[in-house]
Copies of this chain bind each other. A is one copy, B any other.
Amino acid sequence: MAVGTELLLGQIADTNSAWLGEHLAANGVASHFHQAVGDNHERITLALRTALARSDGVIMCGGLGPTQDDITREAIAEVMNVELVRDESVLAAISEFFRERGREMTANNARQADVPRGATLIRQAGGTAPGLVCPVGNKVVYAVPGVPWEMADMFERGILPDLRARMAEAGEEGVIASRVLRTWGASESGLAEALAGRVEALEGAGDVTLAFLASGIEGIKVRITARARTLSDVRALLDREEAAVRLAIDEGIGDIVFGVDDQSMETAVAGLLLARGLTFGVAESLTGGLIASRLVNVPGASAWFKGGVVAYDSQVKFDVLGVPPGPVVTESAAAAMAEGARRVTGADVGLGITGVAGPDDQEGVPPGTVFVGLALPSEPPQTRQLRLPGDRERVRQYGAITALDLLRRALDAPFS
């Protein structure tokens, strides 16, 4: 249950509910309903009573701040039918927070120390408002701030342990954990086909499950979830299944797994460049800087990323990159761009990408046609032609990740 009028007005998107849904599922907890409600006492209490009537537990995000429209504490107290009690230890922590920053604590800030009688606290790690664990009969209401990182931190430290204890009490004991294999280059049905044998093998046993999550321009995720008595048993199940899944994918489709869990395509590329001691430069036409801007977001990129040329105008391709004058949406132009990127930036490895984003043809070439060139050390450049679907923006995004994936595969294989 997300609290805040700005959500109803569409001024900010509710990303917390999706995050919580994903993390609850990964821990074996089913989410049945999400709600969002504005900063209105009557409607918050109505929504909370509705939520408690149809669920065993409710997580509330937002409305714990210091201003007069932050009324989640009051709403919970009303639904619990208890009073709010000012917690002196929280009050001391808040006033310390302000003293350290040389600022005055206002009376409003003191409201953040109010706790419904019977609730326990999830201590703050950074902000001022603590989270709350509020028992309501056999059910429970958790309240955490709406700031995404505070919410995520309190979920891990305060909500998940309490949920696990409740699941153990209900006889749903054990540990659940999951691992995500991230893939690029296969369709969801292709992946499902390659893994049909694994899904069948796992059926009935019930301790390990597979799920496919299509994630648009970030590829398709395969999530392995395991349940066992102890964490080390869970890890062993995950390791065993990861090996089996990788083998099945490798045999059925090929080298399409680029990362695990939060690892992105650019961190995979970064790891391989670092491991091989190689530096990298890029020449972009179609993607217009998208590949470079993804790479510089990897911390420590300066160790391996030299830079790039955004050669949007053909004359820049000819003059700066040394592409021979003529058509520029061709394999040979992509190859020359890759070599040019290597030479201009002084890198060991160069990549070039040219193509037509649309909506119109260019040089008689239809939108979605893309050429990628890759120049590895002391090798002639390789090229690859792609046919990408979608509109202008999507062709660019697909082009960027596909080019990075070609680079990853090349760096993953032995070369002279």
Contacts and interface: CB of A to CB of B under 8 A. Distances in A.
A297 B9 contact: no
A21 to B, nearest CB: 4
Chain A interface category by residue count: 35 or more
Most buried by B among A8, A12, A287, A357: A8
A301 interface: yes
B7 A297 contact: no
Contacts of A305: 312-313
Contacts of A257: none
A25 interface: yes
Most buried by B among A23, A288, A393: A288
B32 A9 contact: no
Interface string A1-31: 0100001111111110111111101000001
B18 A7 contact: yes
Given A289-B290, A344-B320, A312 B297 contact: no
Given A7-B34, A33-B47, A302 B312 contact: yes
B31 A21 contact: no
A394 to B, nearest CB: 11
Interface in A271-329: 282, 284, 287-293, 295-297, 299, 301-302, 305-313, 315-316, 319-320
Question: How many chain copies?
Answer: 2
Contacts of A312: 292, 296, 301-302, 305-308
A47 B51 CA distance: 10
A14 B11 contact: no
Interface stretch (A36-44, A109-117, A118-126): A36-44
Interface in A329-359: 344-346, 357, 359
A43 B30 CA distance: 13
22 contacts: A7-B18, A7-B21, A8-B31, A9-B25, A43-B54, A282-B310, A288-B293, A289-B290, A289-B291, A289-B292, A289-B308, A293-B396, A297-B392, A297-B393, A301-B312, A302-B313, A305-B313, A306-B316, A309-B310, A310-B310, A313-B345, A315-B346
